[in-house]
């Protein structure tokens, strides 16, 4: 289980809230797999990830634009890559059906996203926006 906490806190409320939801969904999938219930949980997790991509990514991207974030292009490229990876998993699920390895594949992709995007790229964004707030520039918040 992944604990919510400092590694995923950006200081930007809407981002931190979504990160908590992401960790919760990933942990539910992990727990379901441990209990032999991955098949039941994967649809819920896939729906969560899809909504996360469709609703949260655009909000975060707009937030970066509003705050003139200097590394927005790199950030958006990462969003597009995650979406493509997720679409591949989703396509496998809907074309071939459930397999025992599918929940693990999704959970690993989510864990990788947490480790390499949320805890790094989003943290850098949070540091930038919070430093802009402290100096009185931008529209952060």
Per-residue model confidence as pLDDT tens digits over 28-55? 999 999 999 999 999 999 999 999 999 9
CA dihedral 50, 91, 45, 112 (to 10 degrees): -90
Burial of 19 (0-12, 13-18, 19+ CB in 10 A): buried
Smallest CA-to-CA distance from 25 within 84, 89, 93, 106 is with 106
And the tokens for 125? 């964004």
Parse the chain into domains and list their residue ranges.
13-129
pLDDT > 70: percent of the chain: 91
Class of domain 13-129: mainly alpha
In the predicted structure, residue 25 carries a pLDDT above the cut 60: yes
pTM: 0.90
Sorted by sequence, the CB contacts under 8 Å of residue 71 that are 6+ apart come out as 124, 125, 128
């Amino acid at each position: 289980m992944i604990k919510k906490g400092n590694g995923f806190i950006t200081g930007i409320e809407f981002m931190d809230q979504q990160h908590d939801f992401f960790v919760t969904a990933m942990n539910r999938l992990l727990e379901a797999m441990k209990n032999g219930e991955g098949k039941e949980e994967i649809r819920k997790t896939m729906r969560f990830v899809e909504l996360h991509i469709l609703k949260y990514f655009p909000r975060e991207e707009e937030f970066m634009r509003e705050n003139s974030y200097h590394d927005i292009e790199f950030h958006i490229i990462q969003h597009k890559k995650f979406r493509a990876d997720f679409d591949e998993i989703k396509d496998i699920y809907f074309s071939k059906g459930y397999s025992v390895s599918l929940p693990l594949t999704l959970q690993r992709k989510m864990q990788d996203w947490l480790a390499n995007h949320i805890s790094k790229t989003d943290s850098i964004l949070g540091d930038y926006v919070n430093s802009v707030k402290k100096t009185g520039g931008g529209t952060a918040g």
